[in-house]
Structure 1
Amino acid sequence: MKKMFQICAFCCLFCFQLIGVFADDEVKSVSVMEGKSVTLNISVTEIKSITMIMWKFGSNESLIAKISKFSKITVYDNRLKLDNQTGSLTITNINTIDSGLYKAFITCSSCKKTTHTFNVTVYDCTFCCHATEAVTRLVISAVVGVAAVFFMVYDITSRKGEK
């Protein structure tokens, strides 16, 4: 009985360790319209205990921004903003080539190293339109539809008159 309890306790601890390992690997999906801004929040509460936050992009994990106690904030693109209070990354004037995986690697002096992953999808808004444009398109479609029906009825009635 004691041996069974020990095995059960070991399995529970092992499972909790696995959950702790994989919790950092959760991928958050973010969708944003082209030309807008998006903020990738990592929700750091103890910024003082953090040694470094490195933001990387893409499958080759290119370094795009970092903040550290020693070298402060460094960004490698003028459209990127790194919040020195939260460690969150804001991408302004985003475009479709910015779609992909963003990872924040957090190194902390008093905690374990963590990773936050975001899958950012930037959608092209070629078919998006404002309300007035949508109404205009709807009215034009209705007029074209009515005209098509009118010509069909005219054609059918004119053919009946020929017989």
Structure 2
Amino acid sequence: MEGDSVTLHTFHDERMDNDRIQWWFENKNTLIAEMNVTASSVTVNDNYDRRFRRRLKVDLQTGCLTITNIRTEHAGLYGVQSNRMRKNIIVNVSARLPIPVISRNSSQCSSSSSSSSSSSNCSLVCSVVNVSHVTLSWYKRNSLLSSISVSDLSISLSLPLEVEYQEKNSYSCVINNPICKQTQHLDISKLCQPCSDSEHCCGSTEAVIRLVLSALVGVATVIFLVYDIRSRRAEQDHACIPASQT
């Protein structure tokens, strides 16, 4: 995993009767470390590749190479070579996985409020962002319901699910790669409340807003009519006064 320290072993983790041990990266393209066995000295060539700067350590007893705070850019083919033999080591590095986020489908309330009868199912979605080489899955207890996989770099994934209101079954959303996984459990009682019974349901909120606006428009209309009627009466009374009285 990214952030871990990884130790690459030499030949049976022991120093051999060799003058030197060399560590290469990507098939002898980059010599990253060299150990002089006789002099018990180590030379780290991390300046040749900035990816390895201040990340390499060589054990003077075994010749093993340790990469600290490893990143995905350090994945690849490593080689260790002595006077008598050579071996290759393939290193795979996976990014740390985010915790999946479970949310209610935002369009469900508006669609159900416009219909005469509300739906008996609760529509949910599990999502993750900036992931690669992972699988996102829904589980009902221990049974797999659905899944989606991706091999591209840094994309977002989402997976829908429908459950019944106040259902007692246990659901969980899981994201995993070959190394680890992250799990988010579904709280049906918290996320799945019928629109008619929820204070925060979007359909009820919309209805309240419309009612308030309609009331304000009605009040404004009544005030305008009263003012207009009074103005007309005042004009008529002024016109009916005899000239002698003026």
- The TM-score range, normalised by the shorter chain, is 0.5 to 0.7
Q: Deviations over 1:2-34 (max 9, x none)?
A: xxxxxxxxxxxxxxxxxxxxxxxxxxxxxxx22
Counterpart mapping for 1:66-81 below 5 A = 66-68=34-36, 69-70=38-39, 72-77=41-46, 78-81=54-57
Asked if 1:105 corresponds to 2:81, the answer is yes
Who is 1:94 aligned against?
Answer: 70
Aligned to 2:25: 57
Higher helix share: 1
- Equivalenced residue count is 109
CA drift at 1:48: 5.1
Contact persistence 1:44–1:87 (CA under 8 A):
no
Question: Which residue in the other structure is 2:51 paired with?
Answer: none
Residue of structure 2 in register with 1:114 after alignment: 85
Quick one: structure 1 residues 66 and 35, their matched pair in 2 at CA, closer, same or farther if it must change by over 3 Å?
A: same
Whether 1:37 and 2:30 are equivalent positions in the alignment is no
Query: What TM-score comes out, normalization by structure 2 length?
Result: 0.39
Shift of 1:83: 1.0
Scaled by the length of structure 1, the TM-score of the pair is: 0.57
Shift of 1:57: 0.5
- Quick check: which has more Rg, 1 or 2? 2
The answer to whether the 8 A contact 2:78-2:88 is kept is: yes
| Aligned-pair Cα RMSD in Å | 2.4
Identical counterparts, % of pairs: 36
For structure 2, list consecutive stretches of 5 or more residues without a partner in the other structure: 47-53, 118-246
Supply the distance in 1 between the matched residues of 2:62 and 2:77 (Cα, whole angstroms): 20
d(CA) in 2 for partners of 1:40, 1:46: 12
1:60 Cα deviation from its structure 2 partner:
4.6
- Corresponding residue to 2:109 among 150, 157, 161: 150
